[in-house]
Chains A and B, each alone.
Chain A
Amino acid sequence: MDIFAQQVINGLVLGSVYALVALGYTMVYGILGLINFAHGEVVMIGAMVALAAVSMLMTAAPEMSPLLMIAVAAIVSIITCMVLAFSIERLAYRPLRNAPRLAPLITAIGISILLQNIAMIIWGRKYKTVPELFEFDTHIIFGANITDLQVIIIGVSAILMTLLLLVVNFTKLGRAMRATSESQKVAGLMGININKIISATFMIGAGLGAIAGILVAGNYSVAHYSMGFMLGLKAFTAAVLGGIGNLGGAVLGGLLLGLIESIGAGYIGQLTGGFLGSHYQDVFAFVVLIVVLVFRPTGIMGERVAERA
């Protein structure tokens, strides 16, 4: 039982991060119908910038309290990612807004490769270690180990996701975003500055991504230029699983994918009598995705998107 509890906790930690990144994909898709493949790289840049900021602060002001240090690093990283996402949208996606859908998609993949290579040039190719600023205690619940950091990851993700849902559902900006997602043309006629709303969407997604990047780097104590690629792909899967374009779906999809992965990897051997091993961990997750899409093509919580196409 304690092993199962441990796998559930592993899955929740993994899933919280997936959910946070998935929100970035799903928000942009909801408004533009664009799959922003560069989002994974924005997450990576977030982690790398925060890491660089922390190392700089550690040499410049070693007596600074670690909490303040990480706060400063987080703010720097969030701002960098927001500026980056704003520029990407302005320079790469906006000129292509009325182009066929394939063009912005390929541009997104291009931006992703570009960002990866820029990061490789700036920070090198090595895995970078994240300095341990805090001593994290390990707690035992239901026989499973969970560190403070993992509690923080789940907590921060939950708070941010709630905040985002509140913003989208109850503020003027959120209403404008929902209107833009319904129809850009009509929203524009109603006096909404669509360009501003789209920029804001990209920036909010990037801010969440930056925080996700910091959490991931902290959790595994490593960061490197290619860390965003697989994470982005998994988060995209999570978004599709939950129903792309739907915020609640992204959260649900992220958590589900995390749980499927960790429980799948832990028990797949027993379930198949040793026929399949843990190298089918990823396959397992994607099979679940395919099964869901066969029966519910719009994802678990997805809405009809026919009129968008």
Chain B
Amino acid sequence: MLLKRVITMAIFGLMLVGCGQSEQSEDGARIVRIGHVGPLTGPISHLGKDNERGALLAIEEANQANVVIAGERIRFELISEDDEANPQKGTVVAQKLVDSEVVGVVGHLNSGTTIPASKIYYDSGIPQISPSATAIMYTHQDYETAYRVMANDEQQGKVLGDYAVDTLGAKGIAVIDDRSAYGKGLADEFQAAAEAAGATILTREFTDIAKTDFTAILTKIKGLNPDVIFYGGMDSQAGPMMKQISNLGIKAIYLSGDGTQTKQFLVLAGDEGNGVYASSPGLPLDQMAGGPGFREKFKQTYHEDIQIYAPYAYDATNVMIDAMVRADSVDPEVYLPSLKSTDYQGVTGQIRFDERGDLQGGSISLYRVSDGEWEYIETVGGGS
């Protein structure tokens, strides 16, 4: 009986000691874990995988460069979790990352999962940089742990709304969104901007990220005869939707945001995709400071093209590592202030944050599909 108690106490004691010690890799470097979250399964898993690869590339480069922080050689490890683009799952994996003592999180991909998860990171004091969550609310919750390296939907929706009215000459507009935080947020901003520019919103329709049949709402829209149909949502819906628009004989111009401005959209929409307009935050890859070089590097490592957000995930990871190096600490509490004062030349451009954690001087680019390829039109805003 006594022996049992001694053993139990010994084990317990060992566990306590174990907690205090930092883990080391085989070659004696200190292991530091960075979390990544995105949808790695489900309809938009190609985008999640893309982000994961971007983050992984940054981690591998940092390891090759043998980063030294506080006199210790650091070996970074990426713990990648799947949130299935599901807000509930997003909070579960966020807690899991917090429990596995990550020092920072790159993610999530969707605004819908990023926002609920940001509370968990905030409560645990873990810095979070989202490469692609553009919903305004994310940085408007007064969480000093929440950052993003991409222009937000306020900027994007405004540019799209103005473009629809001023350049495309739209008078009547039908708006559809996918009820996600991203899709709804973008559609709301677009609607406000388009109305302010003098257009009439004929109807607001809704779908969700599991649907492929949109004929009912499109038929209703057809009866209203809009000049422009705006969709706030992702490519996996926009692609099939475009085919149904063409089958129903709707002539309106199709306009959408960055969730649609992808290679996958071109594949899914086929010939019917021609003539579609979409925007994307930031500059096109070719015009980014380190764009072409990054494209090469990515292709060499993964033998696949970049989908869309990988450069942002790459930059987000590097910004986080950069903040740790400048603070000379991997302790989230210590390096968080230096994250705030980031001034980093990334692949996607110069990265500086405003007091909310939003990217300063974020720009929005517009594209149009012609001959089955995205053709760059212009970039609005930015200038840093």
Contact between B179 and A10, CB atoms less than 8 A apart: no
Cα-based distance from A132 to B268 in the complex (angstroms):
12
Contact between A226 and B207, CB atoms less than 8 A apart: no
B46 at the interface (CB under 8 A from A): yes
Given the interface contacts A221-B243, A226-B43, A279-B208, does A126 sit within 8 Å of B216 by beta carbon?
no
Interface size on B, residues (CB 8 A): 37
Contact between B248 and A266, CB atoms less than 8 A apart: no
Contact between B213 and A220, CB atoms less than 8 A apart: yes
Which residues from chain A sit less than 8 Å from chain B, CB to CB? 2-3, 6-7, 10-11, 13-14, 120, 125-127, 129, 132, 138, 145, 147, 220-222, 224, 226-227, 230, 261-267, 269, 277-279, 281
Q: Could you say which residues of chain A place their CB within 8 Å of the CB of B216?
A: 7, 10-11, 261-266, 278, 281
- Which residue on chain A has the smallest CB distance to residue B49? A125
Q: Could you say which residues of chain B place their CB within 8 Å of the CB of A227?
A: 212
Q: Could you say which residues of chain A place their CB within 8 Å of the CB of B264?
A: 126-127
How far apart are B158's CB and chain A's nearest CB, in angstroms? Answer: 24
B90 at the interface (CB under 8 A from A): no
Which residues from chain B sit less than 8 Å from chain A, CB to CB? 40-43, 45-46, 49, 179, 203-208, 210-213, 215-217, 219-220, 222-223, 236, 239-240, 243-244, 247-249, 264, 267-268, 270
Cα-based distance from A15 to B267 in the complex (angstroms):
28
Give the dominant DSSP class at A's interface. helix
Q: Could you say which residues of chain A place their CB within 8 Å of the CB of B220?
A: 3, 7, 265-267, 269, 278
Interface centre among A127, A147, A267, by most chain B C-beta atoms within 10 angstroms, is A127
Cα-based distance from A127 to B264 in the complex (angstroms):
8
Contact between A222 and B247, CB atoms less than 8 A apart: no
Q: Could you say which residues of chain A place their CB within 8 Å of the CB of B222?
A: 3, 6
How far apart are B237's CB and chain A's nearest CB, in angstroms? Answer: 10
Contact between B239 and A222, CB atoms less than 8 A apart: yes
- Which residue on chain B has the smallest CB distance to residue A261? B216
Given the interface contacts A3-B222, A3-B223, does A132 sit within 8 Å of B270 by beta carbon?
yes
How far apart are A261's CB and chain B's nearest CB, in angstroms? Answer: 7
Contact between B42 and A277, CB atoms less than 8 A apart: no
Given the interface contacts A132-B270, A230-B210, does A3 sit within 8 Å of B217 by beta carbon?
no
Contact of B268 among A2, A6, A129 (CB under 8 A): A129
Q: Could you say which residues of chain A place their CB within 8 Å of the CB of B267?
A: 129
Contact between A222 and B212, CB atoms less than 8 A apart: yes
Interface centre among A3, A147, A267, A278, by most chain B C-beta atoms within 10 angstroms, is A278
Q: Could you say which residues of chain B place their CB within 8 Å of the CB of A125?
A: 40-43, 45-46, 49
Given the interface contacts A127-B236, A147-B247, A279-B179, does A221 sit within 8 Å of B219 by beta carbon?
no
Q: Could you say which residues of chain A place their CB within 8 Å of the CB of B49?
A: 125
Q: Could you say which residues of chain B place their CB within 8 Å of the CB of A127?
A: 43, 236, 239, 264, 268
Q: Can you list 19 A-B contacts (CB < 8 A)? A: A10-B215, A11-B216, A125-B41, A125-B42, A125-B43, A125-B46, A129-B268, A132-B270, A145-B248, A221-B240, A230-B211, A262-B216, A265-B216, A266-B216, A266-B217, A267-B220, A278-B217, A278-B220, A281-B216
Contact of B270 among A7, A221, A262, A267 (CB under 8 A): A221
Q: Could you say which residues of chain A place their CB within 8 Å of the CB of B43?
A: 125, 127, 224, 226
How far apart are A275's CB and chain B's nearest CB, in angstroms? Answer: 13
Contact of A265 among B179, B217, B244, B249 (CB under 8 A): B217
- Which residue on chain B has the smallest CB distance to residue A126? B46
Cα-based distance from A230 to B207 in the complex (angstroms):
14
How far apart are B203's CB and chain A's nearest CB, in angstroms? Answer: 7
Given the interface contacts A127-B268, A279-B179, does A3 sit within 8 Å of B219 by beta carbon?
yes
